[in-house]
Homo-oligomer: A and B are copies of this chain.
Amino acid sequence: MRDDALQGEMARLRGLVDAALGRHLSERLEGADGPVPPRLAEAMGYAVLGGGKRMRPVLTLAACEALGAPAENALPVACALEMIHAYSLVHDDLPSMDDDAERRGRPTVHVRYGVATAILTGDALLTEAFRVVTWPDQPLAPDARVRLVALVAEAAGASGMDGGQEHDMRAEQEEPSLELLGSLHAMKTGALFRASALGGAIAASATEAQRAQLERYGRLIGRAFQVTDDLLDFIERRAAPDAQTTGDPHEDAVNLAVRLGEAACRDEAARLTAEARAIAASLGERGWLLDAIAALIEARRS
């Protein structure tokens, strides 16, 4: 029963996000300086609307509702964070970065549209994220919108996701210390999760104490997501059932399951999600979806 309710709620929030992203991208074909070139508009849609779990924006909406405000308040920042996530995948997949030809079972943007258009598509989505947050037709007051712009920029930029990717690329040349590995993941993955939960709180006009709680919740499940991601990746990649490497030296250097061991990772995921669930519980009945999301992340199989 609770499981059905959870699936229903996740689908409802994903539906809100998908509809808003689709609406926003299609309404953006005409601007003050000129119309968006059709090929660029198509590539932007391909990158954003081609599926994905919508983890980050769903988390944003759930955090907003957990504090008693309507999900619609948080929809602009939720869409912005998903656009940031989508742009980062487009750029990370490029030949000079991770050189991936497929994502979600389809050709990556640069395979389909060429490297130059893929770079521009990422740039345009990153830019669009900030336009979405400031979209005039939304309920938030200007000061909340300014805070959200700053939050998204902080999480996406040089001391957040971009910086994490730079650390990750350095790790190809030199195995990072465990401390640097922690920063790498906190920046590359954690920053957007932290911003997702905190963005929902800001959109809900939360008190400072609530903002701090949701920020902590976001950090915890961001780290738990990374730990379980590395575990799943390790289990999938290792050649033999008892092997202790993924078979790829760079992947080994940054994979927490390889670096810390499987058992330690499972313990850490349990500890992180337990603390996150305690925060969700402290929000009362309204916190149930945040509790369920943390539990989902601990138990994830994909």
Contact = CB atoms under 8 A, between A and B. Distances in A.
Contacts of A190: 33
Interface string A177-212: 000000100110011001000000000000000000
Contacts of A122: 123
A120 interface: yes
Contact of A159 (B34, B39, B154): B34
A126 B126 contact: yes
Residue among A33, A130, A166, A170 facing the most chain B CB atoms (10 A cut-off): A33
Interface in A116-146: 116-117, 119-120, 122-124, 126-128, 130-131, 133-136, 141-143, 145-146
B128 A153 contact: yes
Interface in A56-102: 87, 91, 94, 96-97
A31 B91 contact: no
A119 B91 contact: yes
A25 to B, nearest CB: 9
A127 B115 contact: no
Residue among A145, A158, A165 facing the most chain B CB atoms (10 A cut-off): A158
A10 interface: no
A134 B149 contact: yes
Contacts of A133: 149
Residue among A143, A159, A164, A165 facing the most chain B CB atoms (10 A cut-off): A159
A177 to B, nearest CB: 14
Given A34-B159, A40-B158, A120 B150 contact: no
Contacts of A261: none
A119 B123 CA distance: 10
A295 to B, nearest CB: 25
Given A33-B194, A119-B119, A194-B33, A130 B145 contact: no
Nearest to A190: B33
Given A40-B166, A163-B124, A155 B33 contact: yes
A36 B130 contact: no
Given A34-B164, A34-B186, A122-B123, 15 more contacts: A28-B158, A30-B159, A31-B163, A33-B159, A33-B163, A34-B183, A37-B167, A39-B166, A91-B120, A120-B162, A124-B157, A127-B157, A127-B158, A128-B157, A131-B154
29 contacts: A29-B159, A30-B159, A31-B157, A31-B159, A33-B154, A33-B159, A33-B164, A33-B194, A34-B183, A35-B163, A36-B158, A40-B162, A91-B119, A96-B119, A117-B166, A120-B165, A120-B169, A123-B126, A126-B126, A126-B127, A127-B153, A127-B157, A128-B158, A131-B149, A131-B153, A133-B149, A134-B146, A135-B150, A149-B149
